[in-house]
Amino acid sequence: MVKLSTDLSSTNLQLLAGGVIVAILVLDYLRYKKGKLHLKGPTPYPIFGNLPQMGKDAALTFHKWSKTYGDVFKVIMGEREVMIINTAQAAKELFSDQGGVYIDRPQFHNFHTVLSSSAGTTIGTSPWDESCKRRRKAAATALNKANVQEYIPIVDRETLALIEDLYVQGKGGKIELDPHQYMARFALNTSLGVNYGMRLDSIGDDLLEEIITVEQGVSNVRSTTSSWSDYVPLLRKLPTGNKGVENAKSFRDRRDQYMNMLLQDLKDRIAKGTDVPCITGAILKDPEAKLTPIELSSICLSMVSAGLDTLGNTMLWGVGYLAKRPDIWEKAYEEVNNVYGGSVPDATEEASGYISGLYRECARYFSVLKLSLPRATITDSVYHGVKIPAGTTVFFNAWAIHHDEARYGDVANFRPERHVLEKEDAVHQPHYSFGIGRRMCVGVHLANREMYSAFAKLVYFFKLEPGEEDYDINPETACKNTYSLAATPKPFKMRFVPRDPDTIEQWIQDEKSRNDLKIASSISKKTPAA
């Protein structure tokens, strides 16, 4: 009797569980059917939507899907409907022609509720409001074309450090180097110079490594495609679903420490009168400045983080690839010599079209931010007769645009000429790595000048050679972590072989004696915990 009732209750339980599952699936199906965004897209799975179908590299999958579902289609990521833009024409119609609509940024659980810290969030992750407008305006003004010209000595200083370290630590080309840290330091130090008037000196410096490690970790947390718990709230309840949250918390604390330290260091230098002109110093000293302390922190955080993964990685992919393409590298050398008459190239202006084409082609070919930074619509709007509701999350697939044959033709070929030397219109809009429209990258002028300066001098001083061990540098297969926001190549080694050691040594000596290149490096060697 007792056994019979146990059997019955276990059968009842199974039936009940089955019923609940069926009800969830039916409700889920109805939700998808009802969805607010009526664009075509792949059929979703229950609960997870298209997340399990997106593969390891979502940008590449979306590119393939665009052939079936069109330039603009929809994917369902857990609870969220996401609009994917895959062509330059659609990007223009939406981000430029309807710029005021596509101006917002979406919020994500792991990033916005956990990683936001005492330093606030970056401009690039902030929803559009009065505060974001003020911060963006301040950063965009500080980094406009005219002001970037004032920062050329800082770019020169970091190019010198790059060339010197590659020469000295590569023992004149005899030793293979992993160029990752060198490129990251170049990017970070330029931003620190511009923003705080300081730099971190040597590769291996504790603080330098801490910032590079944490910002790389944040880039992983910010991944728009790997954190399923951002899209499926149910997963947040599971013990494993909190992994992203734990990572985010630890990076937030470490980030807070060095951001506070960098700001305090600048304040100390201002108090002692030993500071040099810089963006944050100008704001701190301006009695009329209308920014709150948290807004100032947000600008600082944007400056420290925005160029690091993006610029450092574009250059890293570039040198790794070009070490295997001496035909292009030597052509660039010839062009630099023609333009600069055999002298060391300088970065006061982009005189060599070929070098401009070279770094722009790196930006296109490798597309380090394959899905750019996510956007959101701020009001209802219409695209080709389809209503796009306010609050829609939008991914801009820069990878798909950069590999759109209708626009670029031979997309698989690395060809610097395509940007500056062939098409008139290409000069103005050669690639979309900096985004487009009203939330486009505000660091574009600085970043371009940095890449021009570094590539021109690298070409002038070195031949590049791959290391003994072969490596993959194809952007489709060589990403270290395909889920990360910014694409980093798997580690590799290469040689920077000086064309003429005497010329490099003489130049390093001359440059070092120039007074305007002296920038404080007061907190170098201190760890954030110190």
Q: Are 330 and 440 contacting, i.e. CB atoms less than 8 angstroms apart?
A: no
Q: How far apart are CA 373 and CA 489, in angstroms?
A: 20
The distance of closest approach from Cβ of residue 235 to ligand HEM in the complex, given in angstroms and rounded to an integer, is: 27
Contact 498, 173 (CB under 8 A): yes
Q: Cα–Cα–Cα angle for 389, 393, 397, nearest 5°?
A: 125
> Do 368 and 447 contact (CB within 8 A), yes or no?
no
Residue with tokens 């033709």: 409
The two three-digit tokens of residue 161, written as one number = 């450090």
Is residue 362 part of an annotated ligand binding site?
A: no
Shortest Å, Cβ 12 to ligand HEM? 54
Q: In whole angstroms, how far apart are CA 469 and each of 169, 176, 302, 356?
A: 19, 10, 37, 30
- CA-nearest of 139, 132, 140, 137 to 104 is 132
**Between 198 and 232, whose beta carbon lies closer to ligand HEM?**
198
Token output for 382 = 């219409």
CB 400 within 8 A of CB 87: yes
Q: Give the residues across from 387 on adjacent strands.
A: 382
Residue 44 is which amino acid? Answer: P
Q: Which is nearer to ligand HEM, 370 or 418 (CB)?
A: 370
Nearer to ligand HEM, 54 or 446 (CB): 446
3-state secondary structure of 74: strand
Q: C-beta of 302: minimal distance to ligand HEM in Å? A: 4
Pick the closer one to ligand HEM by CB: 303 or 478.
303
- 376 neighbors 106 (Cβ within 8 angstroms): yes
CA-CA distances (angstroms) from residue 474 to 222, 392, 413, 466?
Answer: 23, 33, 11, 14
Q: How would you class 113 by CB atoms within 10 Å of its CB: exposed for 0-12, middle for 13-18, buried for 19 or more?
A: exposed
Q: Which residues bind ligand HEM (CB under 6 A)?
A: 123-124, 136, 139, 191, 302-303, 306-307, 310-311, 314, 368-369, 372-373, 375, 433-437, 439-443, 446-447
Identify whether the C-beta of residue 29 lies closer than 8 Å to the C-beta of residue 46. yes
DSSP H/E element including 77:
strand 72-77
Q: Rounded to the nearest whole angstrom, what is the least distance from the CB of residue 216 to ligand HEM in the complex?
A: 15
Closer CB to ligand HEM, 101 or 306, in the complex: 306
CB 194 → ligand HEM: shortest distance, Å? 7
Which two structure tokens, joined as six digits, stand for 422?
């062939």
Contact by Cβ (8 Å): 160, 344: no
| Shortest Å distance, C-beta 15 to ligand HEM | 51
Q: Is 141 helix (H, G, I), strand (E, B) or coil?
A: helix
Q: What is the DSSP letter of 45?
A: B
Amino acid of residue 247: N
Judged by beta carbon, residue 117 or residue 125, the one nearer ligand HEM is: 125
Residues ≥6 apart with Cβ < 8 Å to 23: none
Q: Which is nearer to ligand HEM, 191 or 297 (CB)?
A: 191
* DSSP letter (8 states) at residue 109: I
Nearest approach in angstroms of CB 203 to ligand HEM is 20
> CB-side exposure of 64: number of CA atoms within 13 Å?
9
- Report the nearest approach of ligand HEM to the CB of residue 438 (Å): 7
Q: Among residues 235 and 404, whose Cβ is nearest to ligand HEM? A: 404
Give the residue with the Cβ less far from ligand HEM, 75 or 301: 301
Q: How far is the CB of 295 from ligand HEM (least distance, A)?
A: 13
In angstroms, what is the minimal distance from the CB of 199 to ligand HEM? 14
Give the count of alpha carbons within 13 A of 426, CB side only.
Answer: 18
* Residue among 229 and 448 whose Cβ is closer to ligand HEM: 448
Give the annotated binding-site residues: 441
Residues of each annotated binding site for heme:
441
